[in-house]
Amino acid sequence: MNSGTGGGTYNYNDVVNIYADAPDPNMQFNVWTGDTSGIANVNDANTTITMPASNADITATYEAIPGPTDDYASSESTTHGTVSGDYIDTQTSDDTYEVLTEVVHANRSKLEHDWTFSVAGGSTVTFYVEAYKAGTEDSFDFDYSTDGSNWTNMLTVTKTSDDDTDQSYSLPSSTSGTVYIRVIDTNRVNKAKDLDTVYVDHMYIRSE
Ligand SMILES: [Ca+2]
Ligand SMILES: [Ca+2]
Ligand SMILES: [Ca+2]
Ligand SMILES: [Ca+2]
């Protein structure tokens, strides 16, 4: 028994609990190696071994915990609005912005713009955006969709200066592949025609 608890002298066919030692920081249990034929589940840090007729020499092995993967917008499309800069400006938190401003459409102000992400996926998937707005008539909702037609609201940008702080939203853990992120204005009252603006500094989807 190496790197674990449960070593000792046992009889043939005894079922013995075995526990891998706690991993070092940034490491996780990987697999039991060695004389593993009696181990109930070699992939489980806490399992059992049914003792073979001879000595069983087993070792708990560890691996680095995979780091998070950050995915960025890779394309975009504007339904309503004027855009200065582009989605590349959303890939780094550097106070260089993609700037999206409403236009008047059907006698009211509107902004509607979406980006496409290809998401790695993981046990947790989180959307982050660092953005602020100018103007007093509208705020700006960020929504997501996996099919481009059914949208779920995640958060609303209401702050009026760049505080270098992300807003975030936990996406379903099953999220992977193509994800659409949309920004849309919150006030479409008739004659509400002030042209409000949203500044997007940084936006990404983290899988970990
Ligand atoms: Ca509006
Ligand atoms: Ca910033
Ligand atoms: Ca407006
Ligand atoms: Ca930026």
Global pTM reads 0.74
Is the four-CA dihedral 90, 96, 102, 103 of positive or negative sign? negative
Q: How many CA atoms lie within 13 A of 145 on its CB side?
A: 12
Measured in Å, residue 72 CA sits from the centre of ligand 2 at 16
CA distance linking residue 94 with residue 171, whole number of Å: 25
Pairing of strands 112-119, 177-185: antiparallel
Measured in Å, residue 119 CA sits from the centre of ligand 3 at 32
CB 67 within 8 A of CB 206: no
Instruction: For residue range 126-172, list pLDDT tens digits in order.
Output: 999 999 999 999 999 999 999 999 999 999 999 999 999 999 999 99
| 69-207, CATH topology level | Jelly Rolls (2.60.120)
Q: What is the average pLDDT score of the chain?
A: 96
Q: Tell me which residue of 184, 187, 181, 173 sits closest to 90, measured CA to CA.
A: 181
Instruction: For residue range 114-126, list pLDDT tens digits in order.
Output: 999 999 999 999 9
Q: Where are the domains of the chain?
A: 4-64, 69-207
Measured in Å, residue 120 CA sits from the centre of ligand 2 at 25
